[in-house]
Amino acid sequence: MSAAVLTFTDKGIYCPAGDFYIDPWRPVPRALITHGHADHARPGHGAYLASAAAASVIRLRLGDIALDTVRFGEKRLLGGATVSFHPAGHIPGSAQIRVEVGGEIWVVSGDYKLAPDGLCETFEPVRCHAFITECTFGLPVFSWRPQQEIAAEINAWWAGNAAEGRASILGAYSLGKAQRLLALLDPAIGPILTHGAVENTNAVLRAQGYALPETKHATPDLDVKAHPGAMVIAPPSALGSAWARRFGPASTGMASGWMRLRGVRRRRGADRGFVLSDHADWDELHMAIRETGAEKIFVTHGYTEIFARWLATQGYDAQVVPTEFGGEEDSTPETGEDAA
Amino acid sequence: MKAFAQLFAAIDQSTRTSVKTAALADYFRSASEEDRLWTIALFSGRRPKRAVTTTQLREWAAERAGLPLWLVEESYPVVGDLAETIALILPPPDAPSDHSLSHWINLLVDLSQAGQDARKAQILTAWDGLDETGRFLFNKLITGGFRIGVSRKLMTRALAQATGQDEAALALRLMGDWTPQTTTWQTLIAAPDPQADDSRPYPFYLAYQLDSAPEELGAPEDWQAEWKWDGIRGQLVLRGGTHHVWSRGEELMTDRFPEFARVPDFLPPGHVFDGEIVAWDGAHPLPFNALQKRIGRKTVPKKLLKDAPVILLAYDLLEADGQDIRDRPFAERRARLDALLADLPPDAPLRPSPPIRFDDWEALADTRATAREQRAEGLMLKRRAAPYLAGRKKGDWWKWKLDPLSVDAVMIYAQQGHGRRANLFTDFTFAAWNGNELVPFTKAYSGLTDAEFNEITNWVRRNTLQRFGPVRQVKPELVFEIAFEGIQPSPRHKSGLALRFPRMARWRRDKPAQEANTLDDLKAMLAAYGA
């Protein structure tokens, strides 16, 4: 077998043939970025390469950086490596990165989910020899119900609150989850208000052509009383804050894969937990791995040791990606904005 | 199970007491009498006898889900609840059914008579007939600890709303040694004049911790002080020529403490005493670990009866001559108690807990400072004019405990919590220095904020040295102030001592590990305060 296409260094995943890193966590000369979440797109790199669909959001978050873009599927030669970006279905613009060196193909999944959500580009299986996969929810207790069922639950909760004169405040990360929720809401129920962090991202994604319903930025001078029965979308950190109290009587909710666990639901202290994740569940992880045709699997982000052990029993050559923190295998709902 | 599952969902989805109470009251109005009765039983800590072990449950669930057992075992600490873990991994139901709560409970009751193979078949069939919430609740019925955010008090209030009966009267009816198999809704709740059975205790009145200065309670002459003993709160019920001993958790402890069998020889029936059960050396209480040896034993060997005899230090009289006198002022109840116990022989297993006289709060504070010498934890303050209330109510009873003892210790092991704290490292083992060695001496789980637990959880991940199953050995860097109520010798522990009620008073971010306390410091405390 030929030399490794990608290696694991203390700065992140590195391609010696192309002299670049993928989603590195320390400053490097050249970084390929799967998507705009903060634990993947970090400031301080010399040059960036990302999918065209992810570019605006990355610029919104990292400012004036040297960012080059490619279309999904477009091949780019970097040194001795050919790279291309393929939809990961995690958030709008998110990509898997395919790296080919001398006929050997490795794919870095970034974060991903398989089920189409109607907003972001649907995950595309990419055949490869080695697959580096996230496994945030790599335990059999995690399985997601169809999105339309969760959407119906959320809309019923909103309608019920509106009928009783309460606002509905839904906590969701400002990039990705917030827009996915917006696209699921039934605007006939009432007005939709947003936190500033959510509205900034909305503006960028709308300009790119993603279809989002009408929203109103809940600025400090907004007359809350003029918007009875509103749905308010805000980052989870805003729940229970002074900012949230201005909406008067309200029911609070959280939408995340972690809401599958009752302990986490209760710890968050929200009234309702909706099980809606932008990551693959247990079955989806297996489907994704199978469809790559890869025999060599590297796992990262999540219950890595358990998942690798399980994959080994299924006949894969599975290894844990060594990471900065020695053992992120139990990434929790408390860490990372996209661990949701 | 659907109605009960809906009730559970309504309770689980709200953090507001009023919403939970209303949901439960609705359920009490609409459910069958048998389901109502079991619901009351579950929310007052009564459950069907365990029919299968949790090990069997794990194995059967793994088999049904087509997963290796180790993967189920690894998932459990992440979820933090076995009943829930199993509900989450099982494949969707084959044959959904809608049996009642009582149906499933009766199935479990019958199961305890069945053979091994029949048990497994029944459990697998049950899982196949229940949806995810139904399975979770069914599993909870088996594993016990039915805590889903409904306190006994909340349940009683909902029952009062649903039946129109008085809450305190209902609380009294629900006390005692009943199960849905030994009573009916009619007898327990609906009968107009319940013939109180002879064993039934009264709901305990519980004190609050005094956090402000006692001066704020007002005039000293309105109050009576007593020692706060470190024993087990208990009620001694004398009725119809027999006696019953109840713990605060409503556990019947009559057989555990045979000493009280003599009490009906000294005192007439129709009396109920509230007090503290302590191990007694003839003049003083023995340290709590002497009593602890008695607590676990259902039958007591003779030697233990001799080494650690118990008595009740009585401090209240709830029933006198067959009359409930809880609404009389404390001073009057106490006077009747003292009069009743005045002529008892010195070796009787019942004595009045002595009242402490004081003229002003300052003098009482000096008395409190001597509590450890009396083998007490501090003082109780009781308003002389107050009736005996039910449950924890603020205002008339206060515990004024001694300031806890404390040491600074180094965290050396960490483990994840359960339930609400699943996925967070919350259970820690602490050590003190013995030369260059760190000797573990206590565990502690509480006292920090969620934010601190989050921070420590991240730290533990980055600073794990070794793993032993769920336990992680961490770099000996973090120092915590450990507060505790007492210290006792313990040959079972490597450190040779054991703490009572240890908890984390604060995270000493300012202290390097080298400056934590030593084992010698702890031994000095043991010499000063240990018995």
What CA–CA distance (Å, rounded) separates B383 from B224?
6
The rounded percent of chain B whose pLDDT value lies above 90 is 63
Residue numbers in B near A237 (CB within 8 A): none
Q: What was the pLDDT predicted at A333?
A: 44
Contact B420 A263 (CB under 8 A): yes
Q: Looking at the complex, does the CB of residue B12 fall below 8 Å from at least one CB of chain A?
A: yes
CB of A278 closer than 8 Å to CB of A88: no
CB of A274 closer than 8 Å to CB of A150: yes
Residue from A118, A135, A122 nearest A89 by CA: A122
> How close, in Å, is residue A95 to chain B by CA atoms?
28
What CA–CA distance (Å, rounded) separates A10 from A12?
6
Q: Looking at the complex, does the CB of residue B68 fall below 8 Å from at least one CB of chain A?
A: yes
Which run of H or of E encompasses A13?
strand A12-15
A174: Cβ–Cβ under 8 A, 6 or more apart, which residues? Answer: A195, A197, A198, A200, A201, A235
Query: Between vectors from CA B454 to CA B451 and to CA B460, what angle results, nearest 5°?
Result: 145
Q: Looking at the complex, does the CB of residue B454 fall below 8 Å from at least one CB of chain A?
A: yes
Residue numbers in B near A168 (CB within 8 A): none
- Dihedral of alpha carbons B34, B35, B37, B38, sign: positive
Amino acid at B42: L
Q: What was the pLDDT predicted at B367?
A: 94
Q: What was the pLDDT predicted at B172?
A: 79
CA dihedral in degrees (B296, B301, B304, B309; nearest 10)? 90
Is B131 a residue whose pLDDT tops 70?
yes
Residue numbers in B near A264 (CB within 8 A): 422-423
Out of A140, A260, A334, the one facing B71 most closely (by C-beta) is: A140
> How close, in Å, is residue A80 to chain B by CA atoms?
36
Q: What is the mean pLDDT of residues B416-421?
A: 75
Q: What was the pLDDT predicted at B49?
A: 83
Contact A330 B423 (CB under 8 A): yes
> How close, in Å, is residue B198 to chain A by CA atoms?
41
Contact B461 A328 (CB under 8 A): yes
Is B393 a residue whose pLDDT tops 90?
no
Residue numbers in B near A334 (CB within 8 A): 424, 454, 457-458
What CA–CA distance (Å, rounded) separates A231 from B123?
43
Q: What is the mean pLDDT of residues B321-344?
A: 96
- Known active-site residue B49: no
Ordered structural domains, chain A, with CATH: 7-142+278-330 (3.60.15.10), 147-274 (3.40.50.10890)
Question: When comparing pLDDT for B350 and B392, which is higher?
Answer: B350
Question: When comparing pLDDT for A321 and B35, which is higher?
Answer: B35
Lowest mean pLDDT among A259-273, B70-84, B188-202: B188-202
> How close, in Å, is residue B151 to chain A by CA atoms?
16
Predicted confidence band of residue B461 (pLDDT cuts 50, 70, 90):
confident
Q: What is the mean pLDDT of residues B356-366?
A: 93
- What does the block give as tokens for A278? 């932008």
Q: B205-211+232-354+384-401 has which CATH code?
A: 3.30.470.30
Q: What was the pLDDT predicted at B196?
A: 59
Phi, psi of A72 (to 5 degrees): -55, 130
Strand, helix or coil for residue B382: strand
Best residue of B58, B63, B73, B75 to probe chain A, by most A CBs closer than 10 Å: B75
Q: B120, B228, B382, B523: which one is catalytic?
A: B228
- What does the block give as tokens for B163? 């039946």
Contact A141 B89 (CB under 8 A): yes
Partners of B276 in the beta sheet? Answer: B233, B313
- What does the block give as tokens for A194? 């947003």
Best residue of B20, B89, B415 to probe chain A, by most A CBs closer than 10 Å: B89
- What does the block give as tokens for B260? 């009280």
Q: Looking at the complex, does the CB of residue A334 fall below 8 Å from at least one CB of chain B?
A: yes
Counting as low any pLDDT under 50, the low residues of chain A are 1, 325-339
CB of B508 closer than 8 Å to CB of B450: no
CB pairs under 8 A between A and B: 80
Q: What was the pLDDT predicted at A332?
A: 43
Q: What was the pLDDT predicted at A325?
A: 44
> How close, in Å, is residue B432 to chain A by CA atoms?
28
Question: When comparing pLDDT for A33 and B357, which is higher?
Answer: A33
Q: Looking at the complex, does the CB of residue B18 fall below 8 Å from at least one CB of chain A?
A: no
Q: What was the pLDDT predicted at A330?
A: 35
Question: When comparing pLDDT for A62 and B196, which is higher?
Answer: A62
Q: What was the pLDDT predicted at B125?
A: 94
Mean pLDDT rounded to a whole number for chain B: 91
CB of A132 closer than 8 Å to CB of A300: yes
Residue from B155, B274, B143, B142 nearest B203 by CA: B274
Contact B423 A264 (CB under 8 A): yes
Q: Looking at the complex, does the CB of residue A325 fall below 8 Å from at least one CB of chain B?
A: yes
Residue numbers in B near A140 (CB within 8 A): 65, 67, 71-72, 75, 88-89
Contact A262 B81 (CB under 8 A): yes
The two beta strands, A167-171 and A130-135, are unpaired
Task: For chain A, positions 267-296, list CB contacts with chain B under 8 A.
Answer: 267, 269, 271-272
Q: What was the pLDDT predicted at A268?
A: 76
Q: What is the DSSP string of B216-278?
A: GG--GGGEEEEEEESSEEEEEEEETTEEEEEETT--B-TTT-GGGGGHHHHS-SSEEEEEEEE
Q: Looking at the complex, does the CB of residue A261 fall below 8 Å from at least one CB of chain B?
A: yes
Q: Looking at the complex, does the CB of residue B422 fall below 8 Å from at least one CB of chain A?
A: yes
Best residue of A136, A157, A259, A262 to probe chain B, by most B CBs closer than 10 Å: A262
Residue numbers in B near A153 (CB within 8 A): none
CATH topology (fold) of B405-529 = OB fold (Dihydrolipoamide Acetyltransferase, E2P) (2.40.50)
Out of B422, B454, B462, the one facing A334 most closely (by C-beta) is: B454
> How close, in Å, is residue B64 to chain A by CA atoms?
13
Q: What is the DSSP string of B182-225?
A: T--HIIIII-SS----TTPPPPPEEPEE--S-GGGG--GGGEEE
> How close, in Å, is residue B421 to chain A by CA atoms?
6
What CA–CA distance (Å, rounded) separates B141 from B447?
31
Q: Looking at the complex, does the CB of residue B424 fall below 8 Å from at least one CB of chain A?
A: yes
- Dihedral of alpha carbons B143, B144, B148, B149, sign: negative
Q: B2-143 has which CATH code?
A: 1.10.3260.10
Lowest mean pLDDT among A64-68, B105-109, B190-194, B200-204: B190-194
Best residue of A139, A285, A304 to probe chain B, by most B CBs closer than 10 Å: A139
Out of A263, A306, A328, the one facing B419 most closely (by C-beta) is: A263
Q: What was the pLDDT predicted at A323?
A: 64
What CA–CA distance (Å, rounded) separates A147 from B248?
48
Q: What was the pLDDT predicted at B36?
A: 96
Q: Looking at the complex, does the CB of residue B268 fall below 8 Å from at least one CB of chain A?
A: no
Amino acid at A244: A
Residue numbers in A near B13 (CB within 8 A): 271-272
Distances from the Cα of B27 to the Cαs of A223, B30, B147, B159, B184, in angstroms? 40, 5, 18, 9, 17
The span from the first CA to the last CA of chain A, in angstroms, equals 37
CB of B277 closer than 8 Å to CB of B231: yes
Q: What number is the ipTM of this complex? A: 0.91
Residue from B223, B217, B263 nearest B244 by CA: B263
The per-residue b/e assignment along A52-71, b for 16 or more CB within 10 angstroms, e otherwise, is: ebbbbbbbebbeebebebbe
CB of B20 closer than 8 Å to CB of B149: yes
Distances from the Cα of B1 to the Cαs of A91, A100, A102, B6, B484, in angstroms? 39, 56, 61, 8, 44
Question: When comparing pLDDT for A148 and B173, which is higher?
Answer: A148
Question: When comparing pLDDT for B275 and B288, which is higher?
Answer: B275
Strands (E), B62-207: 205-206
Kindly list the domain boundaries of chain B, sorted by start residue. 2-143, 205-211+232-354+384-401, 405-529
Residue from B481, B483, B485, B482 nearest B402 by CA: B485
- What does the block give as tokens for A102? 């001398």
Phi, psi of A36 (to 5 degrees): -80, 0
What CA–CA distance (Å, rounded) separates A316 from A295?
5
Phi, psi of A162 (to 5 degrees): -60, -40
Q: What was the pLDDT predicted at B531?
A: 58
Q: Where are the alpha helices (DSSP H) in chain A?
A: 52-62, 147-163, 177-184, 196-208, 242-245, 262-268, 282-292, 304-313
Q: What is the DSSP string of B283-350?
A: SSBPPHHHHHHHHT-SS--HHHHHHS-EEEEEEEEEEETTEE-TTS-HHHHHHHHHHHHTT--TT-SE
Q: Looking at the complex, does the CB of residue B449 fall below 8 Å from at least one CB of chain A?
A: no
